Amino acid sequence: MTEVIVKDLGINQDYEQTWIKMRDFTMNRLDSDNDQVWLLEHPPVYTLGQAGKPEHILNPKSIPIVKTDRGGQVTYHGPGQIVIYLLINLDNYDLNIKSFVCKLEQACINCLDDFGITAHRIEGAPGIYVDNKKICSIGLRVKKGCTYHGIAFNADMDLSPFKGINPCGYKDLEMTQFRDLDKDEKITMENLKSSLLNKIFSELKIN
């Protein structure tokens, strides 16, 4: 297995430019290229998945809309949301896309459990929920056996733009975030990012 390269790209990363970069990396990568994980935050943007239905965008106001090639419907990205893009060759981990998504979900559940927050799945609706409110969305694309896109974890953000859409195509789906669930209130964004990444690596058995 090749070494995994982790890149913390920071905040305010333009969605379209980042999407083009990870798509180009995936389409041009060789079998010998290292897998990569990118951590970042986007400025406000709605993204509509490959099979996304525009009618799920209810009131975008001034927030831009980008039609992208990941799976899933519409979601919102914005400051205070931890985005982790996973540029992974599934053969390196003997996984298919379904088992890969399962491991990502379990990593998020384990991360929240460490902070005393009980999270769960909902059958047929990928992502992670706390009391049936969504805290983490997962959307991926696979090309040449390699993934790109990834997870969006609501950490400490303005959730109101989610009211302008049917999140992930579900009417009246409520969203939540770590800040509103964290009883300790001492966990920083850096702590949370580190914990999420460690749990993902643990699920994938990456040292």
What residues does each domain of the chain span? Answer: 5-204
Please check the confidence at residue 58 and state whether its pLDDT lies above 60. Answer: yes
Q: What is the average per-residue pLDDT within 170-189?
A: 89
Cα 90–chain centre separation = 17
Please check the confidence at residue 51 and state whether its pLDDT lies above 90. Answer: no
Cα 130–chain centre separation = 16
Please check the confidence at residue 133 and state whether its pLDDT lies above 80. Answer: yes
pLDDT confidence bin for 1, thresholds 50/70/90: low
Please check the confidence at residue 200 and state whether its pLDDT lies above 60. Answer: yes
Mean pLDDT computed over every residue of the chain: 95
C-alpha to C-alpha distance for 80 and 135, rounded to whole angstroms: 12
pLDDT confidence bin for 185, thresholds 50/70/90: confident
Choose, from 108, 111, 136, 168, the residue flagged as catalytic. Answer: 168
Q: What is the average per-residue pLDDT within 191-197?
A: 96
Q: What is the average per-residue pLDDT within 175-203?
A: 92
- Domain 5-204 - what CATH class? alpha beta
Task: Tell me the backbone φ, ψ of residue 6, rounded to 5 degrees.
Answer: -105, 125
In the chain, % of residues over pLDDT 90: 86
Give the DSSP letter of residue 170: -
What pTM was computed for the model? 0.96
Return the closest-CA partner of residue 163 out of 155, 154, 173, 153: 173
What does the pLDDT look like over 63-95, one tens digit per residue?
999 999 999 899 999 999 999 999 999 999 999
Q: What is the average per-residue pLDDT within 47-61?
A: 93
Residues 67/124, Cβ–Cβ less than 8 Å: no
For residue 108, indicate whether it is catalytic: no
Give the pLDDT confidence score for residue 2 in this predicted structure: 64
In the chain, % of residues over pLDDT 70: 99
What does the pLDDT look like over 145-179, one tens digit per residue?
999 999 999 999 999 999 999 998 988 899 999 99
